[in-house]
Structure 1
């Protein structure tokens, strides 16, 4: 423990002001604890990666026709107006569990996955009680089919105003409940009592002055290391220093490494991450606070994706985009110059997500023929013409329906398993994409109470963790929307445990 007088004496200190951190703060506060949130950024750059998301939560639910529970949660006008014409099937605990195991190829921690799935069913209602507002994400997760809005891929629920709204609502609720938020506070050390238990943190303010916060419990929720090029290259491998940071540029991994140096055990897959198709012209070092998630390009299942040689390299229709987008970023990074191009024509262009493909600025082109399109974007024209011709000729002639796995395949290498449409109707459109890294999968090992464990599997007294700083749930891929859910589930557990332990 520092010999200096502390600047603050509190019950629970939470490091990180994103979704997981605020969930921990709400949970501790509702148990009566005095809570301080330390946020590395200023108010104008706060919110962690959560701010940059679309606000999607993957949760177990009973569907649109499964009683009043879901209907009572969603409160925006668009959702209310469309519910009668909505097809949203139930998403069961068995489906969520199977998706986790399938997408991580069995590398998700079974106990952690069980907690994620089980708690997801009630976390939305708990968050609603803490000021979070909900809607159905029609513009991102459904297609109009047969006059009805059909949701796909197990993901429908999101926060009003996306990640921006999520953080604004969290912040307002925390302040209303008496949580103290201190900005521009970069944590640099853990304070320990003589018995070795964690009893606070040391941080530096904007002027570089050190401050000690003495607390009975500490919750770490400061994110992974995705915004640090050196750490990315060290853990993820060669070339990852070139990835574009799509989220918060402040998630550079210092707090994670601080915990590891203090005896915490690492857990999960440190060699993979969540990475997506991101606008190739986006700022490389951090997300855009205005456009946030609008710089992603996720309508590729209804088009084709080629590299600079004009060659396809992924199965764009392997599954619903909720199950492929988080791993296709690394496939793009492996292409020449780390860039690829999503191609559409006049038939498929109206199906693209408006908030992504109609946003500005956007790196892309439109042309009356494929040769002109290729020349404008630096794609090998001859290679592209050959690739498109082979693709068009190989399509299985069954009905096209983007709301289901329609089996409309292209029998080429690599195949396109669903939603294959001939690229043959001008004008043609192409959008240049690069690898946008979202968050890293390796992190700290925690137990069912979100206590941080040491290398012997024993809790480090006084230390808890939640959010992207926790490892073990994801590997290689993940089901869309499960990151925010995991942050909320483990944030709540961490906050409750931290408050419970200090009050004993």
Structure 2
């Protein structure tokens, strides 16, 4: 019988993604001995953070304020970055969640958003303006940013985790890969674990920080909490977020908080052979150009407003809408005019699924959709566009198509062959339900009392998001509340 290994440290962090590393950095800079237990082996580590584009939503007053935070870029001189004040960030959080966001947590998220990213920058993490994702050229040749989101990690999610890891190693933080935490015990507190070699052990600590993600990679938990059909969703990110630590924390006296019935889910390449947990392509399987085109289901019918708002405020909502369609599939349709404006990293990536046709009937045949139905949908859409309103992709231009459902902005006729249809399904990113905590990231019990030595951050923190999500706010939340957790742990 193999002997159980016992050890002790000051702080145990469960999960080696952006939030977990942020907590580890904050604890280490206070002189604490920190151990990060990461479920993934070295080649599979980083949680969902690895799979992101690295976008961070922060409050700011324009490019001049951020210039010292960003990698140098000659395009800065011809860029228009509108201020994004804290009031707007807060309003966006309330708007996309229908007011269901926790106000106290939101205040901290918004108020510390820029400072937390600057703090990480001071530890060697690098940031840049995301021209390829968040800017459109205007008539004067300037790059105009839109949707309250402009800053991202240099190197995307891969770069983010690489830089976090380098900072942790430099600070003397121990990282154990391939180590799954089994139980969370409040005696101490401590955790039990099993590693890839089959060894088991216990680590006693003064504090435990939970940063192990949600339950999106467990099909049964998705069905139970999100509803029937969600077991069919494609897992965009890590396959390791199976809700283990949520279950363990609830058993230890924590209480659930936030919206356990909704999640972050996007339009995702439906026909790609490797469209789950793809560590090479990561977020490139997202299909977020729908505001430039129209989206139809397998009956050839539109079912959502592609121009309801900037993509940053709708993309995390529309995956669920696609899943609810027949067969859980839809098609994003563009013509020869709009196709060149689609983001290269998403629509021109190796193996991107696409159907082309010189006519709508030919396109429909490749899609497996009734040609008459698709033609009718497209022609009705084209005829309803208010063409007197100028098209401006960098603002909500009010150029609408008055059909049912309407397209509220950026209505561009689909009439110039060849035509393109990109098949999409629902790609789930992370679940919104988590644990209840105070603004210091201390996990609370049913009476609202902090559980001794237990903290939570990242996707395990409940209460910030519900139904929808403003792009880039997840990584920011991980940095803000990870830092808060590590500052007390």
Q: Which TM bucket (shorter chain)?
A: over 0.9
Where does residue 114 of structure 2 map in the other structure?
121
Q: Is the 8 A contact 1:191 1:214 kept in 2?
A: no
Aligned mates of 1:200, 1:83 — CA distance in 2: 49
Instruction: Say whether 1:112 aligns with 2:132.
Output: no
| Deviation of the 1:382 alpha carbon | 1.0
Residue 207 of structure 1 deviates from its aligned partner by 2.7
Q: 1:157 aligns with which of 134, 140, 151?
A: 151
How much has 1:474 moved relative to structure 2?
Answer: 0.3
1:456 aligns with 2:453: no
- Alignment match, 1:181: 175
Residue of structure 2 aligned with 1:388, choices 341, 355, 378:
378
CA drift of 1:129 comes to: 0.9
Unaligned runs of 5+ in 1: 499-504
Q: Is the 8 A contact 1:452 1:459 kept in 2?
A: yes
The residue number in structure 2 matching 1:501 is: none
Aligned residue for 2:446, secondary structure, equals: coil
Partners in 1 of 2:175 and 2:55 — Cα distance?
25
Q: Cα deviation per residue 1:162-181 (whole Å; 9 max; x = unaligned)?
A: 00000000001000110000
- Cα distance change of structure 1 residues 56 and 265 upon mapping to structure 2, 3 Å threshold: same
| 2:272 matches 1:276 | no
2:415 is aligned, of 415, 418, 424, to 424
Alignment of 1:209-248 (within 5 A): 209-248=199-238
Partner of 1:482: 473
Offset, 1:283: 5.8
Q: Is the CA contact 1:227–1:286 (under 8 Å) kept in the aligned structure 2?
A: no
Q: For the residues of structure 1 that align with 2:162 and 2:272, how far apart are their CA atoms?
A: 25
Contact 1:58 1:156 in 2 (8 A): yes
* Aligned-partner Cα distance in 2 for 1:143–1:422: 19
Shift in Å, 1:62 = 1.4
| Counterpart selection for 1:329 from 315, 319, 335 | 319
Q: Which residue of 2 aligns with 1:435?
A: 426
Distance 1:282 1:100 in 2: 33
Q: Tell me: CA distance 1:288–1:268, structure 2 relative to 1, closer, same or farther (3 Å).
A: same
- Give secondary structure in 1 for the equivalent of 2:421: strand
- SS class of match (2:9): strand
Do 1:227 and 1:285's aligned partners in 2 also have CA atoms closer than 8 Å?
A: no
Which secondary structure state, in structure 2, belongs to the residue aligned with residue 276 of structure 1?
strand
CA distance in 1, matches of 2:163, 2:61: 25
| Aligned match of 1:289 | 279
* Structure 1 position 19 matched with structure 2 position 13: no
Q: Say what the alpha-carbon RMSD is for the aligned residues.
A: 1.1
Please give the alpha-carbon distance, in whole angstroms, between the structure 1 residues aligned to 2:274 and 2:131.
Answer: 30
Partner of 1:263: 253
Q: 1:502 corresponds to which residue?
A: none
Aligned-partner SS, 1:44: helix
Shift of 1:192: 3.4
2:334·2:420 contact (CA, 8 Å) conserved in 1? yes
Instruction: After TM superposition, give the deviation of residue 284 of structure 1 in Å.
Output: 7.5
Q: Distance in 2 between matches of 1:284 and 1:331?
A: 22
Give the superposition deviation at 1:8: 2.3
DSSP 3-state at the match of 2:205? strand
Q: Which residue of 2 aligns with 1:103?
A: 96
Alignment map for 1:124-203 (pairs within 5 Å)? 124-146=117-139, 147-193=141-187, 198-203=188-193
1:211 shift after superposition: 1.1
* Residue 115 of structure 1: how far off its partner (Å): 0.6
Out of 69, 72, 85, which is 1:73 matched to?
69
Partner Cα separation in structure 2 for residue 396 and residue 191 of structure 1 = 62
Q: Deviations over 1:325-374 (max 9, x none)?
A: 00000000000100000000011011101100000111111211111111
Q: How far apart are the structure 1 equivalents of 2:338 and 2:128?
A: 27
C-alpha separation between the residues in 2 aligned to 1:89 and 1:30?
34
Deviates most, 385-394 or 361-370: 361-370
Structure 2: distance between partners of 1:171 and 1:312: 45
Q: Offset of 1:121 from its aligned partner?
A: 2.4
TM-score if structure 1 supplies the norm length? 0.95
Counterpart of 2:36 in structure 1 is 37
Aligned pair count reads 485
Give 3-state SS (helix, strand or coil) of 1:7's partner.
Answer: strand
Consecutive unaligned residues of structure 2, counting only runs of 5 or more, are: none
